[in-house]
Amino acid sequence: MARWFLGLDSSTQSLTAILIDPEARAIVAERSVNFDAELPEYGTRNGVLRAADPTVVHAPPLMWAAALDRMFERLRAEGRSLANVVAVAVSGQQHGSVYLTADAPAVLARLDPAHGLAEQLQPVLSRPSSPIWMDSSTTAECDEITAALGGAAAVARRTGSAAFERFTGPQIRKFWKTDPAAYARTAHIALVSSFIPSILAGRIAPIDPGDGAGMNLMDISTKQWDPAALEATAPDLARRLPPIAPSHTVVGPISSYFVRRYGFSPSAMVVVGSGDNPCSLVGLGLVRSGMVAISLGTSDTYFGAMDECRVSEHGEGHVFGSPTGGYMTLVCFKNGSLARERVRDELGLDWDGFSRAIRETPPALGGRGLVLPWYDPEITPRVLVPGVRRRGLQPGDLAMCRAVVEAQMMAMRIHTRWMGVRPASIHATGGASANVEILQVMADVHACPVHRFETTASAALGAALRAYHAAEVAAGRPADWSEIVRGFAEPVAGSRVDPRPEAVRAYDAMEPRYAAFEQEALKAIGA
């Protein structure tokens, strides 16, 4: 009988499932349920509910439950024998929170396969909608938590991140302040990544350190709830939160609801869930310190694994627990692909012309120019007043193509040094990773090889690999992460780009000039 492992990723717009067969090192199936298209009764647009206040963005948690039914109905209709599933793990969009009444454990334990999940769970929601990562309505609550804990640096040292509007702690505080009666009815607070495992296992599931860190409530060094952070957030919060448990923890066997309705084996294990970023770390094979991914998207993101807990004293980026047992870091740079596109368009080029201009310009522009491509307000470093700053470059200069990419890579190099981990290899993802010239600049600035990864569902794959790892641990078998991901998290064949020694030397010389230019600009705008 085949041994499959199921990964589920509940993202903003869809639920994705990946079934893997580790013995064959193969993906058996990959399917998605789009919330807007397939569950229109929940009234979402792009998976979310918008309010009159544009800073308020929620989603209906019952939609996530209904998507589970829809997904398993689809897999069963395709003839996938879910009896082969040994273990299932969940990835959830980080920071989304679900609020349940004291009746939730009893209802979860006796789910009736004759009825759908959503109708059975509706009565145990103390709050009908869930604030998600796009919600930015808690600035006042962030300020209050920050003041109570002694400043932004203190919050970051405690929890791994400064207080952010989208983080769950500030969202809980706002809920308590604005609807104290509903907060009083709330007995259990879950994340998306623990709500779905709670349904699957028929019991309240723990939260793992990867997703717990995205709450401003977990002590990042001990990976347990921080009493001072809880007290600064809302009254009697500790009793409303589940325990924090390692990512390989088995919550229990799958609920009889799924056995009787969809044919799962009663011995199938449900594993503690985690956030989409920690799951993507595994799905990209970043299982050792020094392994880094750079996602080149609308915003550029730098994330990777590290063994020891380190936090930026300037509050740059985030530190989460890693499913591999250590830590992961994530730093976001807002001026990513849109900045590259602005340069391309200002110069009247297509992407081939953009790449040709990079090839024809020497590394570090031969020392003649620098640019700070802050077309929009920037996250890292924090820039509220946008504007492009140039030195030695004029509008219309084709060298801007190389300059903008160099600036982006140099900002990553400087603003990730607090991690104490120089990248040994980089996995490049996102649309711009198809551009070899951009990858060459990346390799040269960071002085390490770059490998291109084609990833469409790295979080779901990471969840499936986490399920496999947890099953191996539960069985007492060796569970080396490098072996777990072998054959699944592999780069595009022939995509390796190596650094060039002469270019590495040029960027070493460029770094202090770029850092000084950036500091001058930040000082000038009062950042």
pLDDT tens figures, 198-224: 999 999 999 999 999 999 999 999 999
Give the Cα separation of 3 and 480 in Å (integer): 19
**Cis ω on the peptide bond leading into residue 243 (within 30° of 0)?**
no
Pairing of β 85-92 and β 4-10: parallel
To which residue do tokens 């200069």 refer?
397
- Rounded mean pLDDT, 250-260: 98
pLDDT of residue 460: 95
Give the Cα separation of 371 and 349 in Å (integer): 19
246, 209 Cβ separation under 8 angstroms: yes
Give the Cα separation of 135 and 150 in Å (integer): 25
Fold classification of 4-278 is: Nucleotidyltransferase; domain 5 (3.30.420)
pLDDT of residue 384: 84
428, 453 Cβ separation under 8 angstroms: yes
Composition of the chain by helix, strand, coil, percent to 5? 40, 20, 35
pLDDT tens digit sequence for 133-168:
999 999 999 999 999 999 999 999 999 999 999 999
Number of alpha carbons in the 13 Å side-chain half-sphere of residue 54: 0
pLDDT of residue 439: 98
Dihedrals phi, psi of 390, to nearest 5 degrees: -120, 150
Give the Cα separation of 285 and 291 in Å (integer): 8
User: Residue 321 pLDDT > 70, yes or no?
Assistant: yes
pLDDT tens digit sequence for 495-510:
999 999 999 999 999 9
Q: Is the pTM of this model over 0.85?
A: yes
All structural domains of the chain with their residue ranges:
4-278, 279-334+419-485, 337-415+500-524
Give the Cα separation of 225 and 230 in Å (integer): 7
208, 192 Cβ separation under 8 angstroms: no
Give the Cα separation of 117 and 44 in Å (integer): 19
314, 380 Cβ separation under 8 angstroms: no
pLDDT of residue 111: 98
User: Residue 81 pLDDT > 90, yes or no?
Assistant: yes
Sequential DSSP letters for 340-363:
HHHHHHHTT--HHHHHHHHHTS-G
Helix intervals (H) in 78-201: 104-109, 117-121, 139-149, 152-159, 168-178, 180-185, 192-201
User: Residue 1 pLDDT > 90, yes or no?
Assistant: no
User: Residue 295 pLDDT > 80, yes or no?
Assistant: yes
Pairing of β 425-429 and β 188-191: unpaired
User: Residue 475 pLDDT > 80, yes or no?
Assistant: yes
pLDDT tens digit sequence for 88-117:
999 999 999 999 999 999 999 999 999 999
CATH number of 279-334+419-485: 3.30.420.40
Question: What amino acid occupies position 507?
Answer: Y
* Chain mean pLDDT for the chain: 95
Confidence of residue 457 (pLDDT cuts 50, 70, 90): confident
Domains 279-334+419-485 and 337-415+500-524 share a fold: yes
Class of domain 337-415+500-524: alpha beta
Give the Cα separation of 371 and 389 in Å (integer): 6
pLDDT of residue 314: 83
Dihedrals phi, psi of 167, to nearest 5 degrees: -70, 155
- Cα–Cα distance list, 432 to 279, 351, 453, 456 (Å): 22, 10, 11, 14
Instruction: Return the structure tokens found at 437.
Output: 């010239």
User: Residue 527 pLDDT > 90, yes or no?
Assistant: no
User: Residue 316 pLDDT > 70, yes or no?
Assistant: yes
pLDDT of residue 158: 96
User: Residue 9 pLDDT > 90, yes or no?
Assistant: yes
- Rounded mean pLDDT, 360-367: 96
Instruction: Return the structure tokens found at 175.
Output: 């809920």
pLDDT of residue 315: 82
User: Residue 477 pLDDT > 90, yes or no?
Assistant: yes
- Rounded mean pLDDT, 108-128: 98
